[in-house]
Structure 1
């Protein structure tokens, strides 16, 4: 099978994590960009990337690029592609656009021009044309115009890859699955410690943490990918790829625990973990983090998504102070990571973060922070005679 170029899109701040994932999966010509990583692979690798990548939102397959300065140039450039290779006149398609151009500023206008060029080609060749279907098209076409360069790609994924397929019940302000996976990978989570999400909501961080720990493909529960409607869809190859990924799953020898003080959140989290076939690995309890204490021996890896105040009515100053107090007094030998877009509230934690990473949660600028809680005092740890320098 022939190799071709692909582009994996991601969130700001996850480019290096995605680059590493692609290398580990066996991609070739991996190159990091902004909110994306390009790479090469064959059709089987395209299937594998969609199934296994945790921090990719979408995987595009570029098929043509050309210089474009006006609408006639756009129409002519699209007409140069032989669309019968990808589509027949009984099928449907949809066009998505991303524009960074002074000549083209209206995405709807660009989509319309591209649609005209495609349907005119079919009309001339066959006398009939494929239809537009925005909800369940047979082909998703992605147009990216950056200044005067137009790149035409096929969307291999379909709906964003954060739609893993396991989350049917959501709480207020749920975290995006790709964001959760990226945070976990940035935190260094690899399954070699006990894990706790003390404010687990509908269980997304717990599900992603379990899949990482057991090396379960991220999109194993997803119902469909866009490439399944393509003319060259190879279901046998897909099954072979899926089987090879499932052979690489591994045992997990620690505990994964989730707390939430809301009974409704605990119910939803349990339901979602059952949907994901991960419930045997995870213990979820109704518990107020501020009244809890560390229950396990040895190192604990903690990752959570506390309320930001955007959609929840709580006293932020007091809430974030209690996070710091609880970590300090009740969670020794713990690496605690959390994400927040309430940068003001962070000041009240009362602990100095050892790491601070800029991310975005939707459109909100956020920080992923790490607090290292030692067994005794930090000074004692670093002045210990057994401590290597």
Structure 2
């Protein structure tokens, strides 16, 4: 039986605990939470499984060595001493990503370049030929991480970021990251137990992720290629075994997922993305202005949306826009648990509802609040003055 090894799953700020829970549920051992990352142990099959099934991981890294560095020459010499021919052929291609948190080393691109030079020079000296650099589709993607004077070299088993699920071919102006969308749904506690709605669906990311969560569909089933698929030791039979086992765990969803947007162009893009993910049977689309809608069913509803922040999408009167969100929820959506994410904390005050929960997240570089509003049946009885 193959021995377990350490891996590192990178994620977005605020989703570390969610990712740790995912990894434990999938069967990881020695799970430890860090900042924007979770370390864990598993075998090669589990590495394949984590890439295929983790909804809140951006990368799954496999550390191969670590050492102390104090100068640029240390980096070059110690990277060059690694037997890279174990991991790739000289006719292959490579890409290096660097993350640096150090007083001695401050320029991540330069560290990446130094690492690349060391690997290329080793192949040139040993075999007379050198691998090419391919930033888009390398045979081997390498991650170098320097924290103060501790350097860790890892193989990137994911390839391109795991948020690139493969279904989003049509993007709107301010789309939400797929990993963030999945993380928000999981943070909220929704897993398919009732109807779900995104009334400002944009490119359809939130509803697509919700459908995959409800049906337990592996999020990266449509991904073009994982990094490990071009590794020298890739075991295609083992991967197919892992994939088939994950497919057998897909389940039925017995409620409704609604997606609406007042922008017809955005809605058509959302429909295409959902179709790409083979999820169109689960999601009902409607072109509608949220502020003119009301809940159509007596059943409990989870609502989640990513309204404009007046950043990438501008709004003439953002405070009025957010007050309309609160009014619409109070007036038309009893028995609803409503969640929204925004970086506009001033406008958020205009919603006029007291949030029962607030979570700090980042939407791209924007520090944001992910907030929950509980709309009870009695909320409809609020006085008319609340809506003026």
- TM bracket, shorter-chain basis: over 0.9
Aligned counterparts, 1:59-78, within 5 A = 59-78=60-79
Aligned to 1:252: 253
State the match for 2:180 in structure 1.
179
Distance 2:379 2:349 in 1: 21
Equivalent residue, structure 1, for 2:242:
241
Deviation of 1:378 after TM superposition, in Å, equals 10
Length, aligned pairs only: 380
Cα separation, 2, equivalents of 1:67 and 1:161? 30
Q: Give the aligned partner of residue 372 of structure 2.
A: 370
Q: Secondary structure at the match of 1:344?
A: helix
Q: Which residue of 2 aligns with 1:7?
A: 8
2:352 to 347, 350, 353: 350
Deviation track 1:32-89 (CA, whole Å, cap 9, x = no partner) reads: 0000000111111111000000000111100000000001211221123111100111
Residue number in structure 2 paired with 1:95: 96
CA distance in 2, matches of 1:273, 1:120: 46
Match of 2:333 in 1: 331
Match of 2:190 in 1: 189
Aligned-partner SS, 2:182: helix
- 2:386 aligns with none
Which residue of the partner structure matches residue 109 of structure 1?
110
1:9 and 1:56 in contact (8 A); partners too: yes
Shift, 1:379, TM fit: 11
Distance 1:116 1:327 in 2: 58
Asked if residue 28 in structure 1 is aligned to residue 42 in structure 2, the reply is no
Partner of 1:150: 151
Cα distance in 2 for partners of 1:201, 1:178 equals 16
Match of 1:160 in 2: 161
Correspondence 1:293-308 to 2 at 5 A: 293-308=294-309
| Equivalent position SS for 2:52 | helix
Using the alignment, how far apart are the partners of 2:290 and 2:363 within structure 1?
A: 23
C-alpha separation between the residues in 2 aligned to 1:202 and 1:109?
36
Q: Which runs of 5+ in 1 are unaligned?
A: 381-389
Q: Compute the displacement of 1:293 (Å).
A: 0.4
User: Structure 2: which 5+ residue stretches go unaligned?
Assistant: 383-388
Mapped to 2, the partners of 1:132 and 1:263 lie a distance apart of 42
- Note the C-alpha offset of 1:377: 4.8
Give a deviation string over 1:177-214, Cα, whole Å, max 9, x none: 00100111111111000111011111100000000000
Q: CA offset at residue 312 of structure 1? A: 2.2
CA distance in structure 2 between the partners assigned to 1:235 and 1:96 by the alignment: 26
Contact kept? 1:194, 1:296, Cα under 8 Å: no
Sort the Cα spacing of 1:111 and 1:312 in 2 relative to 1 into closer, same or farther, 3 A. closer
Question: 2: distance between equivalents of 1:115 and 1:98?
Answer: 14
Q: CA RMSD in A?
A: 1.4
Aligned-partner Cα distance in 2 for 1:276–1:109: 38
Q: Deviations over 1:201-250 (max 9, x none)?
A: 11100000000000000101111111110000111111110000010011
User: Which residue of the partner structure matches residue 271 of structure 2?
Assistant: 270
C-alpha distance in 2 between matches for 1:134 and 1:172: 26
Deviation at 1:125, TM superposition (A): 1.8
| Matched residue SS, 2:378 | coil
Whole-angstrom CA distance in 2 between matches of 1:65 and 1:313 = 47
Provide the rounded CA distance (Å) in 1 between the counterparts of 2:301 and 2:110.
Answer: 53
- For the 8 Å contact 1:309–1:316, the answer to whether it is kept is yes
Distance 1:153 1:71 in 2: 18
* Greater displacement, 169-178 / 117-126: 117-126
Partner of 2:291: 290
Q: Which 4+ residue blocks in structure 1 deviate beyond 4 angstroms?
A: 377-380
TM-score norm. by structure 2 comes to 0.96
2-structure distance, mates of 1:92, 1:171: 33
Q: Which residue of structure 2 aligns with residue 58 of structure 1?
A: 59
2: distance between equivalents of 1:220 and 1:119? 34
Distance across 1 between alignment mates of 2:324 and 2:129: 66
